Amino acid sequence: MEPLIAVTAIFALALLAPQTSRLLAHRAGWLLSLLPFGLFAWMASLSPAVNADPPKWNQPWVPEIGLNLAFRLDGLALLFGLLITGIGGLVLVYAGEYMKGDPRAGRLLSFLLFFMGSMLGVVLADNLILLFVFWELTSVSSFLLIGFNSDEEGSRRGAIQALVVTGGGGLALLAGLVWMGQAAQTYEISNLPSLAGHPAYAGLFALVAIGCFTKSAQFPFHFWLPNAMKAPTPVSAYLHSATMVKAGVYLLARLSPTLGGTQIWEVTLTAVGGATMVVGGGLALIQYDLKRILAYTTVAALGTLVLALGIGGEKAAGAAMAFLLAHALYKGALFLVAGAVDHGTGTRDIRALSGLARQMPITGFAALLAGLSMLGVAPMGFLAKEMAFEAALSSPLAAVQAGALSLAAVAFAWVAFVVGWRIFRGTPSQPDAHEGSPGLWLGPMVLGLLGVGLGCAPAWLEGFVGSAAANSVMPDYQGHWSLWHGFNLALGLGVGCIVLGLVGARASERAVAWGAERKAVVGCERAYDAAIAGANRLAETFTSLVQSGRLRVYLQTTIGTTLVLLAAAMLRWTPDFPNRPFDVRPHEVLLLIAMLAGVIGAAHSKSRLSAVVILGVVGFGVALTYVLLGAPDLAMTQIAVEILTVILFVLTFIHLPKFQRASTLPTRLGDAAVATVFGAAMGFLCLVASEQRYGEPVSAYFVENSYPLAHGRNIVNVILVDFRGLDTMGEITVLALAGLGVVALWSAKRSGGGASTR
């Protein structure tokens, strides 16, 4: 199966999801999940080929400029692809049960599949432009998912905020990717050379980094992720723990061989990743909503991944891949647990939750497994944490990086204890709490068990996908995954962080109370709000200037802009003005004078009707010009159009108020000056254009082919109807719309219900 078929199949299934939901109700998620699970099995079966020689697929896309639909399944793409399809299938099952009885369930399933196809396209794309196309599709689909509850102000705000931040970063990313392709002389990702010494390296790296940092909620762009938690829980579990927010991390990892290994890369990623870890971990400790707590720890985890990529080297590459997998498993499970708790109790406030293990035993067990992995005790979580500490301790900035990692690990332990244990022990606080249906606990249970089971076989896991994924980040990767590395500093730091986290969690009530008292928007989000408010004020000011409601101002703006652009072009290019003598005949001079007199007379007319009639002189003068130049058919067309125009104007203007001259003499003189300059400029351009020859005239082609191809002897008619038929159709459409507008205005005036003709 080719990746293009796989991605297209998911998009096609997204179109069928609403109808499937109407037919099968809450069971639709089970059926729709078969395709993602099938793709999961297909990619898993390719693991031996991926480790030996990553398969590639290539289809022509825009061959004229050398762009192809290029896909490649290497180790990094395989790891992300398995997460996208595997967790995606579980989320579809969960979403069907979570939205049971909601008429919007089909729409949510459709949006989830739309996002799944977009994200799968991102990780499989082997072309920079193709990757960006799918990248933007993830932004669009996430906007639809975050704002799913569109009747809630918080959902709308979160969706717009996510779109603005990630969309703005996407614009920077587009510039960076195009620049990178130009610098490397190829857009195929697998063929990109190292650009570390390229003169444009700093600029293109900055643009790519901005795109990645905004997508992966790195400081100072981290604030959009917690606000996106207004989305339904299946969305949070899928987008904001396992897939979308890791797209930026994926791209940094993918481009590590091309952009990595420099001081700029290491310092930037280390600083941004470390700051994100500390900020995210600290803010998680003062939240009381389950989803916001998990969202801020996701921010910290994303910072951990960026920090690992900044450290570089074999240990860091292996640690990044292990932590990426561990985090996706335990955080996806915990988000699904949060949704099940909300579904079973009606609240996500940890201050009102306790003793849920008696009422929701299966969900509680799944939460315990995921919490142990997040704590760093369960095998997969322990493996990832130990590898991360070893990588940090082996770097030149060991003290700083290990310190930041330790702070994040303390926060993880704190949150793991609160979310995975404390709300489930003790006396039940919610008497009506109940266990959900199998669709609600299957996902977290499977992910929790995988977090334990996969870590028990690190050597197999490394051979299956870990080594190949790390090799995509660090070519010639020769690392080794194992659970036990002996008694060392990394182990001591891990144990110390667990102890500190558990001790701190016992005092979490005071931290949460302190945070609840300070709900005001601060820091980066306040800067975002100020920027949006400033942009709105600027837009209002600019609109009040350019949208005055006066046609004269609009014309002056358009004409002035055109003249400025023309003047700017003339500074860079001086055309050859025609130096041949003009063959002007006396009757042509008289015709020109007559048309100029018509223009001046229409401008000085005190009546609309007389202005229209006098302006007709210009139209008929153009018709006579066609006759003198040997184009009688065009002259006939011009005469017909002129007569029809005059009639329409007369029928319309007769219903308007009496003509009044509202402008002063200086204003009219200024308008005359603008009109004269613009007319002279356009005439100059026409004369220059008539002298430019960049190829053979197309007229010879029309003469030779009008009869053989179009079977017409009138060449002008053939050009209008056949060779330029679409142009003619467009002109007819414009005239028809204008005519309908005139009829509408006339009918509204006659019925007395139209707008004011002021």
DSSP code per residue over 142-169? HHHHHTSSTTSHHHHHHHHHHHHHHHHH
Query: Alpha-carbon torsion 535, 539, 545, 546, what sign?
Result: positive
pLDDT in tens, 155-173: 999 999 999 999 999 999 9
Q: What pLDDT is stored for residue 668 in this prediction?
A: 81
Beta bridge partners of 57: 71
Q: How confident is the model at residue 41 (pLDDT cuts 50, 70, 90)?
A: very high
Residue 60 has pLDDT above 50, yes or no: yes
Tokens of 153: 């102000």
pLDDT band at 755 (very low <50, low <70, confident <90, very high): very low
CA distance 286 to 162: 23
Mean pLDDT comparison of 59-68, 101-110, 694-703, highest-scoring range = 101-110
pLDDT at 42 (0 to 100): 93
Res 711 pLDDT > 90: no
Mean pLDDT of 202-228: 93
Q: What is the predicted pLDDT for the residue at 1?
A: 58
Tell me what pLDDT residue 667 has.
84
Q: Which pLDDT band, with edges at 50, 70 and 90, does 515 fall under? A: low
Name 380's Cβ contacts closer than 8 Å, sequence gap at least 6. Answer: 322, 325, 326, 329, 330, 373, 450, 451, 452, 454, 455
Strands (E), 268-386: none
Cross-strand partners of 125? 71
Residue 9 has pLDDT above 90, yes or no: yes
pLDDT band at 592 (very low <50, low <70, confident <90, very high): confident
When pLDDT is averaged across residues 362-372 and rounded to a whole number, the result is 92
Q: How far apart are CA 564 and CA 110, in angstroms?
A: 49
Average pLDDT over residues 485-509: 82
pLDDT, mean of residues 617-627: 87
| Distances from the Cα of 389 to the Cα of 5, 296, 485, 592, angstroms | 41, 21, 12, 86
For residues 236-254, average pLDDT? 88
CA atoms within 13 A on the CB side of 571: 5
- Between residues 631 and 363, which one has the greater pLDDT? 363
Under DSSP, is residue 62 helix (H, G, I), strand (E, B) or coil?
Answer: strand
Q: Are residues 525 and 223 in contact, defined by beta-carbon separation less than 8 angstroms?
A: yes
Q: Which residue has the higher pLDDT, 661 or 335?
A: 335
The per-residue pLDDT for 270 is 92
CA-to-CA separations, 110 to 11, 84, 141, 344, 497, in angstroms, rounded: 9, 16, 10, 25, 42
Q: For the segment 550-567, what is each residue's pLDDT rounded down to a tens digit? A: 788 888 888 988 989 888
H or E element in which residue 294 lies: helix 290-311
| Gap between the Cα atoms of 756 and 217, Å rounded | 52
Can you tell me the mean pLDDT for 312-335?
A: 91
Angstrom distance (rounded) from CA 297 to CA 412: 7
Close Cβ partners of 14 (under 8 Å, ≥ 6 residues apart): 110, 111, 113, 114, 117
For residues 413 and 375, the answer to whether their CB atoms sit within 8 Å is yes
Q: Is the pLDDT of residue 363 over 70?
A: yes
Q: Band of the pLDDT at 757, cuts 50, 70, 90? A: very low
Whole-number pLDDT of residue 20: 93
pLDDT band at 516 (very low <50, low <70, confident <90, very high): low
> Do the beta carbons of residue 320 and residue 393 sit within 8 Å?
no
Query: Can you give the pLDDT at residue 302?
Result: 94
Q: How confident is the model at residue 576 (pLDDT cuts 50, 70, 90)?
A: low
pLDDT score for 518: 55
Which is more confidently placed, 446 or 710? 446
Residue 72 has phi, psi (to 5 degrees) of -150, 135
Least confident among 157-166, 532-541, 726-735: 726-735
Contact 630, 720 (CB under 8 A): no
Please report the pLDDT score of residue 408 as a whole number.
85
Per-residue pLDDT, averaged over 527-546, amounts to 88
The chain-wide mean pLDDT, for the chain, equals 86
pLDDT over threshold 90, residue 243 = no
What percent of the chain shows pLDDT beyond 70? 93
Give the pLDDT score at 724.
83
Please answer whether residues 264 and 315 qualify as being in contact, where contact means their C-beta atoms are separated by less than 8 angstroms.
Answer: no
Segment 2-13 shows an average pLDDT of 90
Which is it for the CA torsion 196, 198, 202, 206, positive or negative? negative
- Position 750 scores a pLDDT of 61
What per-residue confidence (pLDDT) applies to 517?
54
Contact (Cβ atoms closer than 8 angstroms) between residue 45 and residue 35:
no
The pLDDT of residue 713 is above 90: no
Q: Is the pLDDT of residue 754 over 60?
A: no
Q: Check: pTM over 0.85? Answer yes or no.
A: no
Which pLDDT tens digit goes with each residue over 409-466?
888 888 888 888 888 888 888 888 888 888 899 999 999 999 999 989 999 999 899 9
Which of the four pLDDT bands, split at 50, 70 and 90, describes residue 584?
A: confident
